[in-house]
Each structure stands twice: as C-alpha cells, then as structure tokens.
Amino acid sequence: MSNKISFVYKNGLSFLMLLSFFVIGSGFVKNDSTEISERKKRKNIVRTAQKYIGCKYRSGGKTAKGFDCSGFAYCVMKENNIQLKRSSRDQALQGEPIKISKLKPGDLIFFASKSRINHVGIISENGRNSLKMIHASSSRGIIEEDILKSTYWQQRIKEGRSVL
C-alpha cells in the first residue's frame, strides 16, 4: 500500500470508529444492551415487589415486618439500587413523568385526594384491559391489584413516574 492510501485508510477507519461511538452514545441509535438492561431491571423490580405480597401493613414501616405504601416503594427500589425519598409526596418529584397509558412494569403510580399525593404503587403490568400495581393496602397489606377494576383507585390517579 502506498503511503497516501495507507494514511487515508487508517484515518478514515479511525473517523468511522469515532463517528459510530458518537452516534451510539448520543442516543440517535438505541443501544440494544441498554434496552435489555432496562427490561431486566424492570423485571427485577417487579420480582422484588412480588416477594413481599402477603406482608402486613404498618404505618411508617419500610421492612418485611410491615410496610406503608412509600416504605414499600422505598424498600423495593433500594433493593434494586435505586434511591427514593421516603414519602410518597417526595417520591412523586423524582424521576421522569410518564403518561398513565405508557407506564411500564417497575414504574411508580401516584394517587391523590384533593390534589395532595397520599399513595404510591409499583406497576406490575400495563395491558390492554388491565393496569396492575403492587402496593401496601392499609387493610390488606402488600397486594397486587388491578387499578382499572377499582373505581376507588381510578378516581384518585394523579400521575405516573419512571425512576429508572
């Protein structure tokens, strides 16, 4: 190879490598490993939440001995290396807002009375005819419940957020 061709080949190849790193890193092209990693993290969050189904409700609780709603979300996310604030009102200020129809398993859903957030649940499923959450019910402890089958919860939905 002549020196001119060798120079162009080496520098052209370097340029293409730099360009591809820029395009992947900039978000123009979605990195498959990032997408897989997010799906795995979401599954792990739901699995973690499901292992606590049946635990008792306890006001101010944030352990398996008893949970309130925000203590439950706090504990589940902590086990998945996501830092949440302790109260549902503070948790509702974290992460990114998500339309209810776009919530994914592992996202948080918030409820309010008179515009004041007072409850949080973890989305476990968002299907065509269901929107399930795992949460701490004051009367039944940690349960999984379909929000769309409950007029009580439907009337109180305030917002959804992703903290991933």
pLDDT given for residue 158 in this prediction: 97
For the domain covering 31-162, report its CATH number.
Answer: 3.90.1720.10
Residues with active-site annotation? 69, 119, 135
C-alpha distances out from residue 36 to 105, 132, 136, Å: 14, 22, 29
pLDDT given for residue 31 in this prediction: 52
Answer positive or negative: Cα dihedral of 22, 41, 59, 116: positive
Nearest C-alpha neighbor of 69 from the set 124, 156, 141, 161:
141
H or E, element range at 135:
strand 131-137
pLDDT given for residue 147 in this prediction: 97
pLDDT along the chain (164 residues), means of 10: 46 48 46 75 98 97 97 98 96 97 98 95 96 97 97 96 96
Nearest C-alpha neighbor of 146 from the set 162, 123, 113, 163:
123
pLDDT given for residue 45 in this prediction: 98
pTM of the complete model: 0.79
